Each structure stands twice: as C-alpha cells, then as structure tokens.
Chain A
Amino acid sequence: MVETTRSAEADTFPRLLLQHAQTRPQRPAFREKDLGIWQAWNWAQVADEVRALACGLAALGFKRGMNLAIVGDNRPRLYWAMSAAQCLGGVPVPLYQDAPAADMAFVLDNAEIAFAVAEDQEQVDKLLEIKETVPRLSRIIYDDERGMRHYAQPELCAYEKLQQIGRDYDRAHPDFFMNEVRAVSPSDVAVILYTSGTTGKPKGVCHTHAAMITTARVLAEFDHLDDSNNVLCYLPLAWVGDFLYSYGMAHVSGFCLNCPESPATVMTDLREIGPSYYFGPPRVYENILTQVMIRIEDAGWLKRRMFHSAMKLARRVGIPILDGRGNVSLRDRLAYALGELLVYGPLKNVLGMSRIRTAYTGGEAIGPDLFDFYRSIGINLKQLYGMTETCVTVCMQASGDVRLDTVGKPMPGVEVTIADSGEVLVRSPGLMQGYYKRPDATAEAIDSAGYFHTGDAGFFDADGHLKIIDRARDVGRMADGTLFAPKYIENKLKFFPYIKEAVAFGDGRDRCMAFVNIDMDAVGNWAERRGLPYSGYTDLAAQPAVYDLVAECVAKVNADLAADALLSNSQVHRFLILHKELDPDDEELTRTRKVRRGFIADKYAVLIDALYGGKPSQYIETQVRFEDGRRGMVSAELKIRDVKPQGPAQPPGTAAKRPVKEAA
C-alpha cells in the first residue's frame, strides 16, 4: 500500500492517469483483442492518447462543465473518451449500448448532451435517428470507421481525425492540456450514471472524483489489489459496477483492463486473459454454471461420474478448505487435492477462473446452490451490497468471513443504520452528490442527516452482518399474513439450469403462483438429446415434456420451501411457461435484466386471472419489439400446470386440504 499513500495528492482521475504514466509508464494499462491478437497499450501510451483526444474535443468546442455521452461496448477508446472528458473538466455520461434510440433520447436530452462518442455505425445511426428530438447534439465522434464512408453529416467526426486535430491543437497550445488537468478539482463531478429505472424515468446519479477515488482506494486496500491484477471489462459502461471496478480501480491500483473482442466472445476472452479480480451480477455466474451443466450432461459417463462425485465431495469440504477452517480431516483434504487435480482445476481453467484471487457478486441475491458451487471448487466468490447512488460499496464480505445469506459487514468509513420501517440507510464518503438536475428526487433519497434511503429491507444479525431480505416495497404478505418474499422463490426456481426467469405472485393472495421462462440453451439441448423436435421458443415452451421437466423443478423448490416454517405457505401451487422470453426491449426486464414484477403483472393480468381462476389453459396475444424496433405479435394457448404443495406445514384454507388427502 506504499503506492496509495505516496499518491495521496493525486485526487482526480486525470491526475491519477498522469501519475501512472510517470511511475509505471511501461506497465500495460489496456488490452484489446484485435484481428485475433491481444494488443496492449501501456500507461504512457494511454496518457498520450487521452491527451490527443482531450485536445481534439477542446478544439471542437468541448468546454469545462459540459457532458460527453459515450455509447458502445467496452472498448479502450471509449474509456479514453471518459478520461478525456474528465481532463477538460467535463463529465462522461456512459449510456447502455443496447438501449433503443428512444430511450437514449431521454438521457441525451436530460444531460444536455452536445458531444457524443459512439462506437460504430450502429450507434451512430441511433444517434442520428434521434437527433431531431435532441437539438443540442452537435458533434458525434465515432470509433469504428466501418460502413461510415458515405455518411456526410457535418456533425460526424472520426476518432482518429479528432486525435489528429487534437495533436495539432496541442502543438499550438502546449500548456493547454496541463492547465485544464490542474483546474479539475476533487469535488467536481467525475461521472453521471443513469439508473436503469426500475420505476419511472432514469435519473442521472452524479459522483464526484473524490467519492469514486476514496471508494476505489478502500476497495483496493480491502482486497490488497496492486498493479499486477488483470480485469476483464465486459459489463455495460453505463453501469456503476463497470465504472468503479474497471475504470476507477484501474486508476487507483494501476492494473490492466482487458476489453473483449466482441460481446459474443466474452467466455473465450475470459479464458485467455484469466482475470485475477472479477465482478459479475449473479446472472453471469448462473449462465456460466448452466453452460457447465449442459456440457457435463453431454460428456461421457466416466467424466460425468468423476464430475458428480468430485462435486459431492467439494460441497461437503470445499468451502471449509477455502475459508481455512481447520475442521477438515486429512483424508478429505487429500481427496479434495485429487479432485483439484482432476476436476476443479481443469474446470476453473476452462471457465477462465484459474487465476481469480477475489470474485464478487452483487446487484441481486444469489441462489444458494449457485454461490456454493463456485466457493466449493475454490473460487473466492464473495458478496457485496450497494447501489449506484452509494458507489456500490456499502457492505462487503471479507475473505474467510463469507456467508450465503448476508452481504457482509459495513465497509470502513460507511455508516449503515436500519430505519424503524426496516429500510436500510447509508451514509458514506462514496455517496452521490445528487441526482442530475433533480433536487426534489435528491431530497427524497438523502435525508437531512445525510443518510441515503436504499429502499431495501434488511437487518443486522448477531455478528454484525447485514442481511437484505428484498426490496422494501416487494416484500409482501400472503392473505393469511405469512411472509411472501417473491425474489426468494424466483431465485430458487432460477437456480435450475432449465429455468431462465421466473416471476412469483402471491402478495395478498391465498396461494403462490408463478410464470416461468425456460432457458433456451439448456432446454433446447435437453430436447435435442431426447429427439424432441421443436421450431422455436414458443413451440418448445408449450411441449408437455418441457412442462413435466419444469414441474419437477417446481416440486423440488416446494420441498425446499416446505422445510422452512416461515416460507412454507408460499409454495408454488400452479405455474405456466410463458410463450415469449421476458425482454428489456418489451420493458419486462430492466436494462440490468431485473424482473419488473408490477409491469409484468399488469401486462399479463389475464394469465394471472387464469392461474387463480383454476383454468387449465389460457389464450394470449402479446406484442413484441424486435431489436431493430419493429413490432410483431406472438400468440399462444398457454397451458397451466398444477404442482402439489408439500411438507408438514399446512396452508390454511381449502386449497391446503388437497395435498393431505392425496398423501393419505
């Protein structure tokens, strides 16, 4: 930690960048795979690129206090664009690259964007499409020149050309860049991150240099990160997690950011890079595990047996060994070592997780089995808790003190209290400055004592670990007053590789019902192995055999729920498999792919009525939006399947008597 104390005076991102360019000019700062080969840029080169870009932006009229929109996948040049904006005292505003043009228009207008940096033709087209509604937008800089030759719009400028303009400008005004960098103060806004907007219009969260850097330093110290680390940047630029864990942490620790070749190659790139520090929402870990399970099912019997018996051992002793707890017998330790040699090691290698020192998950509750899987094979996966407004970092689990059902203890410098209503309140140096141009919303979120209201319900357990139950407003009660935590049930369902998404209903009702989305990869593969023909998602989802498969999963979840007295009443009584995949384009999921339960309940009200009305099936027609913005209709006659609730606890009311009778 010598480095961080020595660099105490570097308190803005531009100064950190220049400092790295001086202290470790030859260390790699960015890598990107191009034409199949990893290309690296060292810190000195990056500082040079950023300088040219910043001067270019200034030459075109980008001034202190302006916002720079950044649209695209994780590309080094887009990160440099962020740096360039910060060097000039401007603010980068990264946008979700897969958002349709109309959604972008709101943010561009709200953030008063005049300059935008776009990755490629696709993003440029979107920006040009909404240009009329966003009249301020006057300059679009594009990185990838492919397909751009015939664009004659005066607002367009190629990235390389801009840098050329910048180098000329720099020669003419040699002091300009350094003066600009010196003028940036730690209390200036470093980035505006628009929240994904689970409710209402997106709000721009403003974070200062000081907040981000202080937080990143705490994180670096917490996990002892130095410049020898490697991180793969694959999460959306617009997400606070990517800004903090990739951009912010690299600036503080001086490690290398690796950008994948394309979004489709992330798994391959992960394996080639072998990151040492890894952050992903539960969904990513879930997808990886699903892929593993599919491949194991397709493997020969010997490999399958080896995997399953090794995993059985790992589930028993892997976690104590990882945490260094001493109560594992020598025999088990030897067997685990053999497992490491034959199964866990090769498996981690295939997943690109051989070199991981610390992996985090957060953003959503992680399924218990999912969490245990990674920890049991020796990956130090830990949970953290936080949100965009708090620079993530509220609570984190320390290595060796990891539990499934908590999110760890509050981080140094962070004060966490629980309001009388059960809501978690946070006060920390990493708190946002406010919502952009929304003093009303800011006042609502941060109270007079400086506490941020998270909207999550939680409590501290006996050891001081914070436990989050659900979103405060999502936790409900069944008709008989027992607890109904929909996310808990959904997560249990989603752990099965065959189930991609689930939505549980039961608040104020006597029974719990569920919608299910099957995982096209896993179920498709399963159907292929059984020789089941199908034409597409809708067809596959309606197959009776698939219903049987999902019913089995639901029954297992019910058995699990039955074991817990508190939650036994929220067993799933009936379910249906939706005819289409829930999609952010149809507003059913947020851009970070969280289920928007209320919206779904309204949209599919007829299905919920059918579930509770006891109908055997229901016809539905739904409008869908394709990626290119066109619309179409999907319709299907959805079957509804009953599942027997289980267990000792008997739900009240008539519905509860059935299982007892049948068991007799």
Chain B
Amino acid sequence: MNAVTEAGLIDAPAPGARRIGEVILDLRNISLSFGGVKALTDISFDVREHEIRAIIGPNGAGKSSMLNVINGVYHPQQGEIVYRGQPRRGMNTHDAASSGIARTFQNIALFKGMTVLDNIMTGRNLKMKSSFLLQALYWGPAQREELAHRKEVEKVIDFLEIQHIRKTPVGRLPYGLQKRVELGRALAAQPEILLLDEPMAGMNVEEKQDMCRFILDVNDQFGTTIVLIEHDMGVVMDISDRVVVLDYGRKIADGTPDEVRASQDVINAYLGVAH
C-alpha cells in the first residue's frame, strides 16, 4: 500500500492510461421535492464512462437524494435522466439494478446474521437464472450455476482481501470491514455504474486509504464507472476525475478537482461567508 501514501493520499494513475469515454449517464434539469421541501432544484450534470465522479456538498445539500434519483428510489418531478442514450422515466430500483447500476449505502445495509460470503452472494441475485425449486434441490443446472457464481464471489473476496473473514457473520466485523463487504456485494453484481454513498464515513485514516485504493482499483481493473458521495474533501480531490458540488439542493460548481477547489461559491458553502 505504499503508493497510497507517497503523495498525499493517492497517486492517481498515469493520465491517459484509463480512457474516459462517452457520456453514459446524463441528468438534465432534475428537480425533486417532498411536499414543500425542495430537495433538488434544476440540477444537470453528466457522468462519463470509466470516470470517477464525485458529488460533494455540506450536510443536507441533497447528495443522497441525487443518488436515490439515479438508482430509481426517488422519481424527480421534473427533469430527465438519459442512461446510455435512452431516456428513462419511472424506473424502479429493480430496473436500475438489472441495467447495471449497483450501490452501497450510507448506513450499512447488510444481513448481519449472514456470513461475508453469503452477503456477497446476494449481490449475484439478479444473475441467477435457474428456478427456485432447482436451487432449493441444488441439482443439475442450479448446482453448476451456483459454482459459477461462487467463483465470481471468490474473485471479489480475493480482490478486496477479505479471505480471512469469508465465513464470519457480518455482524461481528468492525465497521471498516463491513463497509468493505458492502462494496463487495455491489461489485458482485458486476455493475457498469457503481454508486457509493459515503464509502469512507466513520473510518480511520488507514481504513480510508484502503478504501481509496479499492475504489481506484475497481475503476482501473474493471473499468467500472463510479459515482461517489463523500464528505472528506481531501479524499474526493485525490481520487475523482470530476466533481459536482451541491448546496441546498442546487448545483454550485462542476469540474475537475482543481477547478472546484478554486471556486468561490464552494469556498463559501464550506467555510461560510461573512455577511
């Protein structure tokens, strides 16, 4: 993990090594309100293939709402979402998952009593094709299918370096590892877009470094597009390709980390402004 610590937190991959492609997800003029509360107001931004896109902002800025809009939990009153060139309307979470969008949650949402292996296996749920009856009997095609899925899950376990807790119930693991398992479950779905809701909240420096490394590795090795919400500015600036900044449900900046860092609006939103 040496490379993680040499220059600041992360040394970014050599420019040009990872090819950032076309716009894969385009959000146009999204507005979302709950009764009279406007959570998001006229927000537009896009996500390109293979990039790491961060959404940042102070508490209550609408970051999680934005993520929930992307994966179909909330349906915006106005605006349009274009995913892979297709406008999407009224998509539910299941559709989002089957079209290759996986996510993790701000508060860990794992099955506490199940082992790490089983939890990650649930990430394969949508890819299982054999019938419930065959699976229950563990017979013929169902058995072959399970073996294939298990192999994929083991690859994820190997990737995240959690072999030693493979058979440990998730509830017994420390917080940092639980976060890693949750990332594992999302990865097991082999998503095209991975939505991470505060993947580093509540972690210590070492755990954050590990998580950063895993996020970069996922992006680099599987080419997964990543949209992440994060509080920790340092982390975001180090690993993201582009950053969008929300404040009170509005977009106040959008661009490369350096551009965002220099924006007066962002400085005001984060540090406050004298009136």
- A binding-site residues for B, Cβ under 8 Å: 33-37, 101, 121-122, 125-126, 129, 146-147, 149-150, 152, 261-262, 264-265, 268, 627-630
Separation of A261 and B163 alpha carbons in the complex (Å): 8
Q: Beyond A149-B220, A262-B161, is A628–B155 a contact (Cβ under 8 Å)?
A: no
Q: How far is the CA of A37 from the CA of B164 in the complex (A)?
A: 14
Q: Are A628 and B217 in contact (CB under 8 A)?
A: no
Q: Is the CB of A268 within 8 A of B5?
A: no
Does any Cβ of A come within 8 Å of B14's Cβ?
yes
* Interface contact A146-B221, CB-CB below 8 Å: yes
Task: Name B40-68 residues within 8 Å CB distance of A.
Answer: none
Q: Is B154 an interface residue (CB 8 A)?
A: yes
Contacts of A627 in B (CB 8 A): 1
Does B2 interact with chain A (Cβ within 8 Å)?
yes
The answer to whether A150 touches B14 (Cβ under 8 A) is yes
Contact of B151 among A35, A126, A630 (CB under 8 A): A35
Residue of B3, B151, B163 touching A262 (CB-CB under 8 A): B163
In the bound complex, CA of A35 to CA of B166 (Å):
11
**A261 partner residues in chain B, CB cutoff 8 A:** 163
- 13 A-B residue contacts at CB 8 Å? A33-B163, A35-B158, A36-B154, A37-B154, A126-B2, A146-B159, A150-B17, A265-B164, A627-B1, A628-B1, A628-B5, A628-B209, A629-B5
Q: Does B244 contact A (CB under 8 A)?
A: no
B144 CB to closest chain A CB (Å) equals: 16
B13 at the interface (CB under 8 A from A): yes
Specify the chain B residue showing the minimal Cβ separation from A147: B217
> Which residues of chain B from 8 to 29 have any CB-CB distance to chain A below 8 Å in the complex?
13-14, 17
Taking CB atoms, residues of chain B closer than 8 Å to A146 are 159, 217, 221
Which chain B positions have C-beta within 8 A of A36? Answer: 150, 154, 157, 163, 166
From known contacts A35-B155, A36-B157, A262-B164, infer whether A150 and B13 are also in contact, taking CB-CB under 8 Å.
yes
A628 to B2 CA separation, bound complex (whole angstroms): 6
Given A150-B14, A265-B163, A268-B164, do A630 and B5 touch, yes or no (CB 8 Å)? yes
Of all chain B residues, the one with the shortest Cβ separation from A268 is B164
Q: Which of B3, B4, B150, B217 has the most CB of A within 10 A?
A: B3
Q: Say how far A634's CB is from chain B's closest CB, in angstroms.
A: 15
List A contacts of B155 (CB < 8 A): 35
Known: A36-B166, A122-B1, A261-B163. A152 touches B14 (CB 8 A): yes
Chain B binding surface, main DSSP class: helix
Given the complex, which residues of B lie within 8 Å of A268, measured CB to CB?
A: 164, 167
Q: How far is the CA of A307 from the CA of B150 in the complex (A)?
A: 38
Q: Determine how close the nearest CB of chain A comes to the CB of B168; give it in whole angstroms.
A: 10
Q: Kindly list chain A residues whose C-beta atoms are within 8 Å of the C-beta of B163.
A: 33, 36, 261-262, 264-265
Task: Give the number of chain B interface residues (Cβ < 8 Å).
Answer: 24
Return chain B residues, CB-CB under 8 Å to A264: 163-164
What are the residues of chain A within 8 A of B217 when measuring CB–CB? 146-147
Chain A residues in 8 Å Cβ range of B166:
36
Q: In whole angstroms, what is the CA distance A45 to B164 when docked? A: 29
Per-residue CB proximity of B156-180 to A under 8 Å, as 1/0?
0111010110110000000000000
Q: Please name all residues of chain B whose beta carbon is closer than 8 Å to the beta carbon of A101 when the two chains form the complex.
A: 2
Are A129 and B2 in touch, CB under 8 angstroms? yes
Of A147, A629, A630, the most chain B CB neighbours within 10 A belong to: A147
| CB proximity of B39 to chain A, nearest CB, Å | 37
Q: Which residue of B lies closest to A152 (CB)?
A: B14
Report whether B13 and A125 are in contact in the complex, using a CB–CB cutoff of 8 Å. Answer: no
Tell me whether A149 and B17 are in contact in the complex, defined as CB-CB below 8 angstroms, given that A262-B163, A264-B163 are known contacts.
yes
Q: What is the bound-complex CA distance between A576 and B245, given in angstroms?
A: 52
Task: Give the complex CA separation of A265 and B164 in angstroms.
Answer: 5
Task: Look across to chain A and name the residue whose beta carbon is closest to the beta carbon of B167.
Answer: A268
Measured between beta carbons, the chain B residues less than 8 angstroms from A37 are 154
Contact A628:B4 (CB < 8 A) given known A149-B17, A149-B220:
yes
Q: How far is the CA of A387 from the CA of B13 in the complex (A)?
A: 45
Among all A-B residue pairs, the 10 with the closest Cβ atoms: A264-B164, A35-B154, A125-B2, A628-B5, A36-B154, A265-B164, A150-B17, A261-B163, A150-B13, A262-B163
Chain B residues near A35 (CB-CB < 8 A): 151, 154-155, 157-158
Residue of A nearest to B154 (CB): A35
Give B97 Cβ to nearest chain A Cβ, in Å: 25
Chain A residues within 8 Å of B17, by CB: 149-150
Nearest neighbor of B157 in chain A, beta-carbon distance: A36
CA distance A146 to B159 in the complex (A): 9
Chain A min CB distance to B239 (Å): 15
- Tell me, rounded to whole Å, the shortest Cβ–Cβ distance linking B122 to chain A: 17
Known: A33-B163, A265-B164, A630-B5. 8 other contacts (CB 8 A): A34-B158, A35-B151, A125-B3, A146-B221, A147-B220, A149-B221, A628-B2, A629-B2
Q: Which residues of B contact A34 (CB under 8 A)?
A: 158
Q: Shortest CB–CB separation between residue A274 and chain B, in angstroms?
A: 18
**Do A121 and B3 touch (CB < 8 A)?**
yes
Kindly list chain A residues whose C-beta atoms are within 8 Å of the C-beta of B151: 35
B193 CB to nearest chain A CB (Å): 22
B5 surroundings in chain A (CB, below 8 A): 628-630
**Whole-angstrom CA separation of A367 from B13 in the bound complex:** 51
Q: How far is the CA of A184 from the CA of B158 in the complex (A)?
A: 39
Cβ distance A418 to chain B, nearest Cβ, rounded Å: 46
A37 to B1, CA, bound (A): 26
Please name all residues of chain A whose beta carbon is closer than 8 Å to the beta carbon of B1 when the two chains form the complex.
122, 627-628
Nearest A-chain residue to B161, judged by Cβ: A262
Chain A residue nearest to B18 in the complex (CB)? A150
Distance of B19 from chain A, by nearest CB (Å): 13
Chain A: CB-nearest residue to B17: A150
CA distance A262 to B151 in the complex (A): 18
Q: List the B residue with the shortest CB-CB distance to A121.
A: B3
Identify the interface centre among B17, B157, B163: most chain A CB within 10 Å of its CB: B163
Residues of B within 8 A of A630 (CB): 5
Bound-state Cα–Cα, A268 to B2, Å: 28
Within the complex, the shortest CB–CB distance from A540 to chain B, in Å, comes to 16
Shortest beta-carbon distance from A320 to chain B in Å:
38
User: B241 to nearest A CB, angstroms?
Assistant: 15
- When C-beta atoms are compared, the residue in chain A nearest to B117 turns out to be A36
